[in-house]
């Protein structure tokens, strides 16, 4: 999962970005229908099936109905995921089906809130629920309840293949947060950083903890170190509070020579903190995920990297694959389906900027 504070419009005109999306739709449809197909059946994990004749809406009506659970609608990262969801939904709607998107109002009580959203989704009796497994101890019972009712589940964005296998989901689609963190930790160390601070504004969430652990392990493998700065999740959405907390940490510990944040809004706060602390000449900055401000800083040489998990692909793939499986029994054999990580640095930032202009990065 990614969360960020900065608001931006989620709607875009169907110009260059629309053409790109339609091209991706055609490619995905071709690729998916080219996979081995046949009658979709369950397995010994008790997964729901497309042709089981069970309680799913597809079995009853012959039309696919999907409920996608994701982040806040005003979160720039999740607006990109939602863009992918909406483009994937065009195939569903063309077949007479429906796609519904549900998200929390905030991230203060994430696990329980998303568990409640999953229960809401179950009450709609959809063909499938597509959900990140952010906080397994809160969410897994609700996810398993959906599967027990005959509703197919795809885990995406957070949790990884381990979480998907544990609950009996069909696939995991997204990045590997731990490996993404390792890549960032290695990059910092290879660039000369010795003491990395990982700022975590959603402590306890599986994906953010995995990211910081990956940073620590990646840096350690190259002889550097990392520690975590956990901040109350109530600070999320409050850039001033995050800036002051990072600034205080930098002033308290002069050995910190790199800062990484779990999201792009926090990276903007970190950039401000580094400037206010007067340590811009020695403290390197990195973040998970992309935004225009990150790309601008990378291009200008003021930010070392951003770790891209390609959120558009997560939304597009999870909807497209669920639709193809429910409709035709078509499913790629790979599991997980990885959309990242990919490090964006000064060497490849121009291509990433082109992707953001197209609305898919």
Phi, psi of 337 (to 5 degrees): -95, 105
Query: Any idea what DSSP says for residue 71?
Result: S
Compute the distance between CA of residue 103 and CA of residue 318 in angstroms, rounded to an integer: 16
Helices (H), the chain: 16-33, 57-61, 76-94, 110-123, 136-148, 160-167, 177-190, 206-220, 239-252, 264-276, 292-300, 311-328, 349-357
Q: For a pLDDT cut of 90, what percent of the chain falls above it?
A: 73
Residue closest to 156 by CA, chosen among 138, 141, 142, 176 = 176
User: What average pLDDT does the segment 6-14 reach?
Assistant: 31
More confident residue, 121 or 46: 121
220 pLDDT exceeds 50?
Answer: yes
pLDDT of residue 73: 79
Task: Name which of 45-54, 170-179, 212-221, 326-335 the model is least confident about.
Answer: 45-54
Structural element, H or E, at residue 342: strand 342-344
Confidence band, pLDDT 50/70/90 cuts, at residue 16: very low
Predicted confidence at residue 357, as pLDDT, reads: 79
Q: What's the Cα-to-Cα distance from 129 to each of 101, 145, 184, 274, rounded to whole Å?
A: 10, 11, 32, 41
How far CA 152 is from CA of 159, 161, 168, in Å, comes to 17, 16, 9
Q: How many CB atoms lie within 10 A of CB 110?
A: 23
Burial (Cβ within 10 Å: 0-12, 13-18, ≥19) of residue 244 = middle
Residues in the chain: 361
Predicted confidence (pLDDT) at residue 104 exceeds the cutoff of 60: yes
**Under 8 Å between Cβ of 223 and 17:** no
Q: 240-251 pLDDT, tens per residue? A: 999 999 999 999
Question: What is the distance between the alpha carbons of residues 150 and 98, in angstroms, rounded to a whole number?
Answer: 18
Whole-number pLDDT of residue 361: 77
Separation of alpha carbons 162 and 145, rounded Å: 18
- pTM higher than 0.85 for the full model? no
DSSP 8-state secondary structure symbol assigned to residue 233:
G
Question: Cα(256)–Cα(282) distance, rounded to whole angstroms?
Answer: 9
pLDDT in tens, 165-183: 999 999 999 999 999 999 9
Among the ranges given (5-14, 21-30, 342-351), the one the predictor scored with the smallest mean pLDDT: 5-14
What pLDDT, on the 0 to 100 scale, is given for residue 51?
34
| Contact residues for 247 (Cβ-Cβ < 8 A; gap 6+) | 273, 276, 277
pLDDT of residue 234: 78
Q: In this predicted structure, which of 44-48, 138-142, 200-204 has the lowest mean pLDDT?
A: 44-48
* pLDDT surpasses 70 at 123: yes
d(CA 101, CA 119): 14
**Confidence tier at 189 by pLDDT (50, 70, 90):** very high
Q: What is the pLDDT of residue 337?
A: 97
CA distances to 53, 122, 124, 147, 329 from 151, rounded to whole Å, are: 11, 8, 10, 5, 15
pLDDT at residue 40 is higher than 90:
no
- Mean model confidence pLDDT for the chain: 85
Whether the pLDDT of residue 160 is over 80: the answer is yes
The confidence score (pLDDT) of residue 355 equals 80
d(CA 220, CA 215): 8
pLDDT on residue 354: 87
| Residues 91-100: tens digit of each pLDDT | 999 999 999 9
Q: To the nearest 5 percent, what fractions of the chain are helix, strand and coil?
A: 50, 15, 40
pLDDT exceeds cutoff 70 at 20: no
Distance CA 130, CA 224 (A): 38
Q: What's the pLDDT tens digit per position in 296-340? A: 999 999 999 999 999 999 999 999 999 999 999 999 999 999 999
Q: What is the structure's pLDDT at 174? A: 97
| Backbone torsions φ then ψ of 102, nearest 5 degrees | -125, 140
Q: What is the pLDDT of residue 9?
A: 30
CA distances from 359 to 55, 69, 100, 123, 246 (A): 37, 21, 21, 33, 31
**Separation of alpha carbons 348 and 350, rounded Å:** 6
């Amino acid at each position: 999962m990614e969360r960020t504070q900065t608001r931006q419009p989620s709607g875009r005109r169907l110009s260059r970005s629309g053409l790109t999306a339609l091209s991706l739709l055609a490619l995905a449809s071709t690729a998916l229908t080219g996979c081995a197909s046949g009658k979709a059946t369950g397995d010994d994990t008790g997964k729901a099936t497309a042709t089981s004749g069970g309680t799913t809406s597809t079995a009853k009506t012959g039309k696919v109905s999907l409920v996608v659970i994701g982040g806040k609608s005003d979160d720039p990262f999740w607006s990109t995921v939602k863009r992918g969801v909406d483009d994937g939904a065009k195939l569903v709607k063309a077949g007479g089906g429906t796609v519904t998107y549900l998200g929390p109002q905030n991230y203060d009580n994430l696990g329980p809130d998303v568990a409640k959203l999953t229960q809401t989704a179950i009450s709609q009796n959809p063909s499938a629920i597509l959900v990140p497994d952010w906080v397994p101890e809160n969410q897994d019972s609700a996810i398993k309840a959906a599967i027990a009712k005959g509703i197919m589940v795809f885990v995406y964005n957070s949790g990884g293949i381990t979480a998907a296998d544990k609950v009996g989901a069909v696939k995991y689609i997204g990045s590997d947060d731990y490996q993404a963190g390792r890549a960032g930790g290695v990059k910092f160390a290879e660039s000369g950083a010795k003491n990395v601070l990982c700022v975590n504004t959603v402590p306890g969430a599986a994906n953010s903890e995995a990211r910081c652990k990956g940073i620590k392990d990646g840096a350690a493998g190259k002889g550097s170190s990392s520690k975590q700065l956990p901040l109350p999740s109530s600070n999320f959405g409050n850039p001033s509070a995050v800036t002051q907390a990072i600034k205080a940490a930098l002033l308290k510990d002069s050995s910190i020579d790199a800062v990484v944040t779990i999201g792009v809004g926090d990276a903007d706060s970190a950039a401000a903190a580094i400037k206010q602390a007067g340590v811009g000449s020695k403290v390197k900055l990195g973040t998970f995920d992309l935004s225009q401000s990150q790309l601008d800083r990378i291009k200008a040489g003021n930010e070392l990297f951003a770790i891209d998990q390609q959120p558009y692909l997560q939304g597009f793939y999870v909807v497209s694959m669920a639709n193809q499986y429910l409709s035709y029994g078509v499913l790629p054999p790979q599991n997980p389906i990885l959309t990242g990580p990919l490090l964006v640095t000064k060497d490849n930032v121009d291509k990433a900027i082109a992707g953001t202009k197209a609305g898919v990065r």
